[in-house]
Each structure stands twice: as C-alpha cells, then as structure tokens.
Structure 1
Amino acid sequence: MSSDTSSSVPRPLPPSDPDGSPAPGVRPRPAGSTRPASARAPDIDLVVDCAVYIAGERHEPEHPHQALTYAEEKGGFVWLGLFEPTEDELDEIAARYGLHPLAVEDAVYAHQRPKIDHYDDGVFMVLKTATYVEHEQLTATSEVVDTGEVMIFLGRNYVITVRHGDHGALTGLRRSLEQQRDLLCLGPAAVLYALADHVVDDFVDVAAQVEEDVDELEASVFSDRRTDDIGRLYQLKRELMSLRRAVSPLEVPLQKLANRQVDVVPDEMRSYFRDVEDHAIRVRDQVSALDELLTSILQASLARTSQADNEDMRKISAYAGIIAVPTAIAGIYGMNFEYMPELDEPWGYPAVLLVILGAIVLLYRGFKRNGWL
C-alpha cells in the first residue's frame, strides 16, 4: 500500500495503525482561517492508500504523484483515499486531477447532506456514514448513533475518496473489492457502487441495533413497575433523527445513478445502483417506522405518567376525606361548649370513638370499592 502527503516526499503511515485507518485527533485551526482546519492529528498522513487498477488488478506506481499518468498510459484508473484534508492539501490534489473548485470546497467542509453533483466530465457524491455506539444501558444522555461522511470524486480514470470522521475506514472495503476483478474491470464507478453499498449495509446494521433499544424501551414503558423513561425516549428519538438525516436524502442520488445517463457511470452499473437504492429505501422505511413507534411509545409513557399522577391524587384525596371525619369531630368537641350533655355521661367518650371508627371504616370501604385506594 502506498501513502503520500501533499509534499513531494511521502510519509509512511504510523506503525500504530496496521490497517491503514488514521487514528482520531485534533489539529487546531490556523489563525485567521475561514475554512475548517483538519481534525487529523499532525502525525497522521493525508493519503491513506493510493493504487492503480488495471484490468481488475492492483498496481503500485513508483510514486503516488505519478499514479494518474500511470493509469492513463495503462488504461486503468486511480483510487486515491484521503483522510480529512485541509484546504491547501486538497487544492494541490485538485490541480493535479482537475477537480471542480465547488466540489473541492464541499469536500473540505464536513456536515454535507447526501447528494450527487455533476461537474464537467466528473461526478461528486457525498455519502453519510453511521455506526452504532455500544452502551451498557440507554440513558437520557447516551450517544447511540455516530455519523461521519465520505466524499467521492469520480472521473473517467480516477476515483478519490475523502473521509471525515473517526469511523468508517475503507481499508477492509478496498481489500474486499480487490478480490472482485470482474467488478473492478467496470472502472471507477465500481468503487462508487461498492462505497454506496457498504454505507447502506452499515445503515441496515445500525437500524437493527437501534430497534433493539426501541424494544427495550417499549418493554420498560409497558411493564408493571413504575418507571420514568421519557428522558431516554427523547434521547433515542434525537439519535434516530441523525440516522434519518443520513438515510433519507440518499434515495435521490441513487435514483439518478440507477435511472439516468451519467457519463462516467457505464450502463452495466445501473442495475448495481438500483439494488443499492432498493436497500436504501427499505432502511429509510425501517427508520421512519422506528421513529413513528418511538413517538407512540413516548405518548404512551406520557399517558401512563399522567395516569399515575391521577391515581396518586385520588389516593391523597381519599385519605384526606377519611382524616377529615375525626378532625371535624375533634374540632367540635374542642370548642368546649357548656351544654354538651354527653360530656357528663360515662358512655360519651367510647361512643364518640366508635362513631369516628365506624365513619372511617365506611369511607375506606367506599373508596376501596370505587378504586380510589
């Protein structure tokens, strides 16, 4: 595997990263810069991998800067993988490959919507990536879905992938695709298909794991024990929204690739993109269904909370009514009137106690029969 930076002398990949995936890090923004600085650590290479594919076989150019010339001479294409390039780094590569400035600007900025743009004789596509964040127990602050981005520049003899985010490494995908020579023989569009298919498959996995969280919350809300799941439900709904924003806009770009004539995408690839589109639609429907289910569960949780509050208020009111009887009787005798004949009778005190006890028993049985206690 070859790696290269924007300088004339390539730097090797760090030994701590054997699979070629850059480790996360933070590079501070340069003073006065209006563009976002790279989040790549200073010791992490810009170029993750660079290879030329001829008749479905991988070839290593003598120098990454010579890859495009080598591919044009041999009738192949270059696959150049980049990780969070800065503006200056990508400008140099853009000049070498003839990339459109607007597409370059989008590739430097992260937080793009999934889309596809046509520039001259090339295509620029943005894909959102997603991964499920493992957690022991879902809380009101748990991170469930982590998203990133992959930008793809597609030309007749090159494909450049720009990855943003600490997950979604493409090394495994590249190795898997290199085992499919017939697919690679279809040109750079095969890489675009493989990337889209890989991203959508990840969506399927993430949606399945989120569904397990939804099932756990549903069981908790409708359990016999009294729980407060509103915070957890709201947090999961927010996290599901991140996945929905990554999945839903992807349908339109895939439709264009599957149904419209695109110069750099051969007709043989349309059926491949149509298959990815079908999977993306199914994931979109699944995510929408989960979102609607969460809304219903949230409403049910609010209803149960309101019902529990009403039950508590009825119990409090019932006990207050029971306590009111002895309080009222004690209040009457506490006024110390002179003419109260029963005060001089030996049965007066026991009789009052029996009246109080009888009233309490009758009220308790009445409240119990009506479901207030």
Structure 2
Amino acid sequence: MTSSLVQIYDSRVAAGRLRADAAQRALLPALEDIRSALEAPQKKPGLFGLFAKPPEAVRGLYLWGGVGRGKSMLMDLFHETVAVPKRRVHFHAFMQEVQAKIDIARRAKEEDALMPVAKEIAASVRLLCFDEMQITDIADAMIVGRLFDELFKRGVTVVTTSNRPPEDLYKNGLNRQLFLPFIAILNDKLTVREIASETDYRQHRLTGAQVYFSPASKAAHAAMDALWDELTGHDAASRLVLEVKGRQVVIPRFHNGIGRASFWELCGAMLGPGDYLAIAAALKVLMLDDIPQLSASNFNEAKRFVTLIDTLYEAKVRLICSAADVPERLYNEGTGSFEFERTASRLREMQSADWAADRA
C-alpha cells in the first residue's frame, strides 16, 4: 500500500531528514487530496472517444509564505509521489520556455501563437509544479492568463509556491489591469493556502554559520560541500537552464532555489547584467566556488564579478562562497581596484547572520 504524504513526512522527521513543523504538516492533507484525485482511474472514452473532452483539471494548490518556510520541500515531497505525467520547474524558467515557443509559432505564421504552445504542454503532462511563481516581466504578464486558462481547459492541474498571495502578483506592474483576470483564474482553479510557520529554515541553518571561506583550500571546499548537503537535504541536484534573449545561462547545480557554480562558470563566461538579473530572480541562495585573486590580468572577469555581486545584493540573494583571500584583499591593484572597495564592503555585509532575512 502506498504511504500517505503524512506518513512519508513523519518518517523523514523520525530519520532526522526533516525538522518537525506543525504548519508544514497541516498542509499535507490538501496535497494528499490532489494526489488521490489525480491518481483516481479516469473514465475511458466511449464509441466517440476521438471527440471526448480532456479530463477536468483537479483543483490545484497555491502555497504562499515567506522565504525558507518549507514551501518547496512540501511541493517536492508531493511531486515525487504522484504517479501521473508531471513536471516540476521553476516558474521563471517555464515562462522563458513558453516565450521562446511562442516566438517559434509566430515565425511559423500561426494564427494564434499561444494555442500550439498550450496544446503541446497539455499533451505532455497532467500536473505542473511551479516553484516561485512571480511576475515581473510585462511580456509574461500579458500572456500568462490566457496560457493558464487553456491549460486548465485541457485538464492540467497546477501546484505552485510563491512568496506572495495571488493578489500581490505583479503589484504596481505596467498595465496591471490587464493582468487581473489571471488572479481571478488562480483563485478559481487553485486553493490558496498560506504556510504560517514562524521559522525560516534556510535562515536558521545559516544563522551563525560561516558563509565566506578563504583561502579557497581543500578545507574550504569541504566546508562548502557540507553546507550544500545541509541546505539541500542531501537530495540530488539538477542543472538549471535559463533562457535570456535567446541564450542559455546555466547554473550547473540547482535544488529548491539553491544554486552552485564556480567563479569561472559565472564570471569567466560572456555574461552581462541581464543574465545576472535572471540568475538572481531564480535563486534564493548562490554558492560560488573559487573566487580568484583579482587584478588587471583578469579585469573583464573582475568587472563581471562586481556586476554579479551588485545584482545579488540588490535582490537579497544569500551568498556563500570560497575565495582566494578576504574581501578587502581580493583586488589590490590595477584599474578598478578603488571601485572594488564598495564590492568588498557588500561582501562583508552579505556575511552577516541576518542579511537577507527581510526578503519578501
């Protein structure tokens, strides 16, 4: 007999993989109901099966709350146990895929470029699990309502997490009145629940923990690995591929909003502000390995590093890193060393235990 989500959760608490939390556990019955409804036998089409309507979408869940409350963990627990065609994807990455497919349909002279995209998605999955639903792009805001309406009509169930309630999505955005029907769709098709846990587990794990390791020695790498295992719960990581203006930006290791890459993967590549903005939007924590000594010899890489740190700082993304030296001695000579003082100051500030605690 298949274990219930409550049973799986309790067993992981007993094994020490999870810390018991009443607010998290209280949400499991709602997810269990969705799981049961999705796995219930579907009616077989009759004589006129070719013209049968797709199965009605099971009412999904919109789970919102502050950073580090366990939203992604609960969704992953649900996703891994549901036995239907499914996909779990970061919302930002999903919308980039959709925009790219719409562009292809437009070039193919499709009368309504969104329809083939919705049909393709609905043909491949019955369940979509989104991490971090947020709308910051006007292009996404203009299509997301119609897209989800078509997906729901085709029997796709949605479970999503967000830091904000539906009413606060795309708040103060351009032409927001055109976005309001999407909020109505979400409230109609998804049950909205807040996870009211007072504990920020990600912040709790990092409180008092060292997050800047220098020099970037074998011991530093071991400490970084230990933090990675702690933050990801020893779960397997995957690559996160972000589409930015037709190019792919890759975070080699990603799990539940936590990304890990080397300095050279993010600053040695030809990336710019738009790429770093996409990374910051997709991550809650970035673990950056092997920041080298900076000087005129790697001036371009140093400039990109400054841009990356500025972007992470403004977006309140938690940074954990290993570096050749302490921030004040990373860039001692050459053009840009004076300007680097601000970056060094930010690197210091980002090490504090309560930094980014107020990220909404």
Both proteins in one fold, TM over 0.5: no
Q: TM-score, normalised by structure 1?
A: 0.25
Q: Which has the higher contact order (CA 8 A, sep 6+)?
A: 2
Higher helix share: 1
